[in-house]
């Protein structure tokens, strides 16, 4: 990555920071306003990034100058918004300086790791909301002083939690910057689709043997495309998931506060999520699950805002953006967004009708209902603007918005009878809660298999099992694609059950929101297990649900500690001690799991074989398949030395394509001309082998030989091969 590319990458980051300032709420009852501003900024920037790709794709202008211009324009707009707000918020000259520096009631100050606490002052408006006096420069200084005071008065445990969160996030950033992209799926389709867009200059589909390059929603790859064009390389690609992970931490802390959790509960929630191995590993990856989880979490926090007050136009647009961004990133995330929007609609309808109680004998007015329906329609319209162009292309290509039959049948459940759903749920749960204890894993798997057969369900039925996979598989090892989350998952599930059955134990003043949120979480989990087949990599597909549920884990663990500090009548000292030991054990074990995942996780780690400090860039890319590194180089060198310009691809559905885009790139950085000699898209015929100057192959040598023209020389070494015509 060039120095100019590094500077250009600052454009999106600076725009988001300015947006955070410009969108910080000034109204009443804004819970943790800084984090709400971060949510708003992320949604605006995310939607803008997607729409820029869609618009420039239509114009066949997916080029570096066009993207630079788009971000400069956006940066100018955000800077203007900040300037206008500063000008509007600046107090008149005659206002005493002391008044200008006054910290508003309910102001939120930052406490380590992005966590905040409200300032309990006395000035309140007649409605009981917070003082709407704008935050001034003096207030920022006062906020910093107050933050320092809160840190000074924080308990040792709170400091340890905040330090642990910050340490994990910073070490993940280090790994994300040092490691080359080496996720398996990214080599197959995430990153190749980005390179196809760059080479084409548009979003048109292309002939390919890997249908996932065109059928899987591309929202996360749209974000990667911005970095690819701004920097000219993939050096910063891991930062998209890292930033999504940071956003998840901020949002789950805010959700905890919305559900009544104080500073300690927010820290516990954030720590549990930050130390979950799946989060630790994905935060340094080019996978897409954390991006999806972040958009789902943004939708959740905006929905919770709507439980007790009417939703304004800005928040409606935000909900629409969150819904659209979820859909365009990973459609499975809609399994959570759907119940969240239902909860929002019911809450808004209740509030609307409560505001307009009819007089005795009169019919309740329909106006409030119409406004709620109109708000729902606006959410769907905004979502359609974000995801609609992609769905339109997919529908035009395959006749269905969800893609070809092979995609619609491979992942979704094909049986929905209660027995099949139960077996699927048990298998998903077994994989999600897997541990290194082999006897426990074997005993529980045997029980599930035996139980399935007893109720007449084949535990390996293709209708409820992805591909040709066989249950069970070990999932405890810290691998980014399959690592289990028994600690976070267990406490999240227990927290959800407590919130549903005994919400007063968590917060007597939040019974309704707690119970409603728990219903959404449990409904999401049930829908997920009823709609998606079991697969060995299913844990990462559940990540959005874990992020949604973890605030309930933090609230429950904090309640255990609170009962120890202020025991309830009838609670014995022994029970209080047990509660404290359980909480400390959960946090300590979670910390150990997070540190081990960061240190020894696969395929990016800090120490040991394959460390980001001791492994070369090229070898890092092939840690999943080390034997392929030299094979790709061998074939690419032969093709380059032949002088070939137009190169044919022969590959199967799960083969690595991305290395060819790196090795065959032109000396000036331009994209190579790679064309597929196979196609699973009926309307996109493959290139004629006779029209290319060379052929590169991965996977099957017989499949490659069938496409090599007569008289060409075919060479194969293990996984990789190439073919050249006579004279080259």
**Per-domain residue ranges of the chain:** 1-123+135-153, 626-724
C-alpha 629/C-alpha 631 separation (Å) is: 6
> Given pLDDT bands bounded at 50, 70 and 90, which one contains residue 375?
very high
Q: What is the pLDDT of residue 140?
A: 60
Please list the residues that pair with 673 across neighbouring strands.
Answer: 646
pLDDT in tens, 85-121: 888 876 665 444 444 444 443 344 444 444 544 433 3
C-alpha 622/C-alpha 630 separation (Å) is: 10
17-21, 39-43, 125-129, 346-350: least confidently modelled range: 125-129
pLDDT in tens, 173-227: 999 999 999 999 999 999 999 999 999 999 999 999 999 999 999 999 999 999 9
CB 530 within 8 A of CB 339: no
Q: What average pLDDT score do residues 649-673 get?
A: 95
Indicate if the pLDDT at residue 542 is higher than 80.
Answer: yes
Burial of 367 (0-12, 13-18, 19+ CB in 10 A): exposed
Q: What is the pLDDT of residue 144?
A: 75
pLDDT in tens, 262-291: 999 999 999 999 999 999 999 999 999 999
Indicate if the pLDDT at residue 549 is higher than 50.
Answer: yes
pLDDT in tens, 382-414: 999 999 999 999 999 999 999 999 888 899 999
pLDDT in tens, 572-620: 666 667 778 889 999 999 999 999 999 999 999 999 999 999 999 999 9
pLDDT in tens, 286-345: 999 999 999 999 999 999 999 989 999 999 999 999 999 999 999 999 999 999 999 999
CB atoms within 10 A of CB 151: 14
Q: What is the pLDDT of residue 150?
A: 72
> Given pLDDT bands bounded at 50, 70 and 90, which one contains residue 124?
very low
Cα 461 off chain centre by: 30
Q: What average pLDDT score do residues 538-542 get?
A: 96
Q: What is the pLDDT of residue 151?
A: 79
Indicate if the pLDDT at residue 123 is higher than 90.
Answer: no
Q: What is the pLDDT of residue 272?
A: 98
Q: What average pLDDT score do residues 117-128 get?
A: 36
C-alpha 484/C-alpha 480 separation (Å) is: 10
3-state secondary structure 340-381: HHHHHHHHHHHHHHHHCCCCCCCCCCCHHHHHHHHHHHHHHH
CB 124 within 8 A of CB 105: yes
Q: What is the pLDDT of residue 91?
A: 64
Give the list of residues 6+ apart from residue 383 with CB closer than 8 angstroms, or none.
320, 321, 323, 324, 327
CB 459 within 8 A of CB 449: yes
What percent of the chain stands above pLDDT 70? Answer: 88
> Given pLDDT bands bounded at 50, 70 and 90, which one contains residue 357?
low
pLDDT in tens, 464-480: 999 999 999 999 999 99
- Could you give the 3-state DSSP secondary structure of residue 721? strand
């Amino acid at each position: 990555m060039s120095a100019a590319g590094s500077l250009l990458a600052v454009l999106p980051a600076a725009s988001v920071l300015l947006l955070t300032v410009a969108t910080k709420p000034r109204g009443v009852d804004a819970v943790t306003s800084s984090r709400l501003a971060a949510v708003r900024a992320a949604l605006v920037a995310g939607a803008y990034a997607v729409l820029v790709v869609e618009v420039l794709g239509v114009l066949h202008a997916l080029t570096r100058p066009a993207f630079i211009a788009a971000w400069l324009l956006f940066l100018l707009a955000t800077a203007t918004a900040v300037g206008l707000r500063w000008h509007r918020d600046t107090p008149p000259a005659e206002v005493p300086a002391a008044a200008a520096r006054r910290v508003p009631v309910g102001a939120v100050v930052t406490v380590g790791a992005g966590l905040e606490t409200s300032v309990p002052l006395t000035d309140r408006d007649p409605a009981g909301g917070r003082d709407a006096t704008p935050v001034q420069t003096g207030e920022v200084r006062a906020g910093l002083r107050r933050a320092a005071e809160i840190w000074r008065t924080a308990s040792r445990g709170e400091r340890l939690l905040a330090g642990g969160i910050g340490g994990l996030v910073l070490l993940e950033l280090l790994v994300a910057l040092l490691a080359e992209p080496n996720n398996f799926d990214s080599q197959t389709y995430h990153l190749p689709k980005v390179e196809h867009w760059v080479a084409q200059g548009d979003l048109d589909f292309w002939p390919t043997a890997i249908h996932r390059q065109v059928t899987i929603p591309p929202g996360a790859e749209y974000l990667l495309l911005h970095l690819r064009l701004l920097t000219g390389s993939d050096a910063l690609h891991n930062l998209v998931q890292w930033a999504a992970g940071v956003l998840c931490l901020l949002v789950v802390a805010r959700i905890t506060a919305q559900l009544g959790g104080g500073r300690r509960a927010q820290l516990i929630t954030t720590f549990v999520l930050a130390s979950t191995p799946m989060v630790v590993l994905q935060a340094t990856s080019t996978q897409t699950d954390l991006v999806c989880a972040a958009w789902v979490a943004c939708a959740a926090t905006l929905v919770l805002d709507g439980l007790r007050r009417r939703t304004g136009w800005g928040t409606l647009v935000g909900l629409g953006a969150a819904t659209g961004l979820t859909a365009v990133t990973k459609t499975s995330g809609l399994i959570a967004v759907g119940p969240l929007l239902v909860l929002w609609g019911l809450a808004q309808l209740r509030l609307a009708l409560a505001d307009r109680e009819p007089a005795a004998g009169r019919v309740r007015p329909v106006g409030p209902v119409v406004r709620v329906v109109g708000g729902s329609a606006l959410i769907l319209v905004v979502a359609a603007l974000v995801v609609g162009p992609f769905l339109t292309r997919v529908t035009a290509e395959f006749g269905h918005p969800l893609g070809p039959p092979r995609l619609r049948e491979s992942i979704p459940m094909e049986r929905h009878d209660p027995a099949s759903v139960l077996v699927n749920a048990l298998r998903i749960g077994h994989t999600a809660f897997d541990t290194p204890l082999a006897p426990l894993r074997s005993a529980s798997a045997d029980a599930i298999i035996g139980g399935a057969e007893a109720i007449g369900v084949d535990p390996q039925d293709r209708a409820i099992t992805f591909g040709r996979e066989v249950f069970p598989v070990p999932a405890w090892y810290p691998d980014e694609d399959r690592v289990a989350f028994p600690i976070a998952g267990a406490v999240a599930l227990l927290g959800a059950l407590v919130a549903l059955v005994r919400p007063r134990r968590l917060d007597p003043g939040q019974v309704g929101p707690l119970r409603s949120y728990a219903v959404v979480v449990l409904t999401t989990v049930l829908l997920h297990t009823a709609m998606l087949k079991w697969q060995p990599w299913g844990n990462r597909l559940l990540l959005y649900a874990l992020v949604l549920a973890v605030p309930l884990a933090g609230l429950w663990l904090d309640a255990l500690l609170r009962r120890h500090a202020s025991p309830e009548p009838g609670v014995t000292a022994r029970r209080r001690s047990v509660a404290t030991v359980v909480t400390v054990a959960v946090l300590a074990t979670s910390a150990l799991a997070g540190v081990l995942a960061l240190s020894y996780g696969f395929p990016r780690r800090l120490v040991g074989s394959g460390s980001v400090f001791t492994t070369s860039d090229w070898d890092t890319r092939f840690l999943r398949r080390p034997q392929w590194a030299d094979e790709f180089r061998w074939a690419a060198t032969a093709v380059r030395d032949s002088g070939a310009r137009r190169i044919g691809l022969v590959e199967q559905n799960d083969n690595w394509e991305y290395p060819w885009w790196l090795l065959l790139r032109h000396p000036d950085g331009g994209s190579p001309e790679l064309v597929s000699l196979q196609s699973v898209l009926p309307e996109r015929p493959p290139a004629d082998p006779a029209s290319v100057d060379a052929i590169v192959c991965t996977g099957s040598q017989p499949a490659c030989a069938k496409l090599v023209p007569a008289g060409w020389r075919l060479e194969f070494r293990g996984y990789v091969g190439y073919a050249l015509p006579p004279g080259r």
